Amino acid sequence: MKRMRYKLCFLAAMLATTHSYAITPVDVELQLLVDISGSVNSTEYDLQMMGYSNAFASERVQDAIINGTEGSIAVQLIMWSGSGNQQVMIDWTLVDSADAAHDLSTVMANIARPFSGWTAIGSAIEYGYPLFVNNDFAGTKNVIDISGDGTNNSGISPAAGSAAALANGVDTINGIVITTDDSVIDQYAEQVVGGDTPFLLAPATFNDFQRAIENKIVAEIQGTTPQGAVPIPEPNISYIFSAALLLIWLKKQFGGSHEAS
């Protein structure tokens, strides 16, 4: 009897060990960086979160997920504002069915706002990209999807955060800005989005946000560019030179330890 109990305990331990080190293949590892800075009032916060929630509850997004090569994606949601204000609100979650998408939708709809403050776009990206490492998923591509409604006014520059992420395993950074302010749109287009076929959407109001998020997630899963995307300019020489210097510095500081899965 003791030997049987020992065997059962050993098998349970083996299963737990196997599970903890299992790597799940997915079509996309999708990290959602959600702006909750002070410029986003409580009504806009609710509209933004309902936009994410309703997108994952939609048949269109669910069909895109299920009909992918792997039939699944992994999603993480982080809220951010100032340079020291970032928090994982939903950690890496497998979405491989309509039920799983609905469950994620429900959680998104009920997240309480943890803080607000300045707008640190670069610091949000810098916080997010190392979290692809050892997340137990192996995506065909790693995508950061960042929302915002203002220009950077805190922390490291958006260009520095973006360059660091792309140098350390993130394939694409896409953006969505809820504004008609050209200065915000230009900063995201020129300094934030980047990598493999990036795109930027600019819905004029928070009420337009849900449809834009739905279009965005479908495009990210399918590897396409949604209609209405803002043209992305080619990086200028000074930007490329600055990014190269940054990458050299990062490699010296971290020794390439931030390679994403």
DSSP letters of 104-154? Answer: HHHHHHTPPP-------HHHHHHHHGGGGTTSSEEEEEEEEEEEESS---S
Identify the sign of the CA torsion 206, 123, 188, 58. Answer: negative
Confidence of residue 18 (pLDDT cuts 50, 70, 90): very low
247 CB-contact burial (10 Å; exposed 0-12 / middle 13-18 / buried 19+): middle
What is the predicted pLDDT for the residue at 13? 46
Query: Is the model's pLDDT at 77 over the cut of 80?
Result: yes
Confidence of residue 248 (pLDDT cuts 50, 70, 90): low
Q: To the nearest whole number, what is the mean pLDDT of the chain? A: 86
Average pLDDT over residues 63-85: 97
Query: Is the model's pLDDT at 243 over the cut of 60?
Result: no
> Which range (64-78, 157-171, 202-216) has the least confidence?
202-216
Contact 179, 185 (CB under 8 A): yes
Average pLDDT over residues 53-63: 96
What is the predicted pLDDT for the residue at 21? 57
What is the predicted pLDDT for the residue at 4? 45
Amino acid identity, residue 123?
Answer: S
pLDDT in tens, 217-239: 999 988 899 988 998 887 644 44
Average pLDDT over residues 78-96: 97
Which residue has better confidence, 237 or 34? 34
Query: Is the model's pLDDT at 259 over the cut of 90?
Result: no
Average pLDDT over residues 80-100: 97
Query: Is the model's pLDDT at 249 over the cut of 60?
Result: no
Average pLDDT over residues 129-155: 96
Contact 139, 31 (CB under 8 A): no
At residue 145, φ and ψ (nearest 5 deg) are -125, 105
What is the predicted pLDDT for the residue at 64? 96
Query: Is the model's pLDDT at 50 over the cut of 80?
Result: yes
Confidence of residue 143 (pLDDT cuts 50, 70, 90): very high
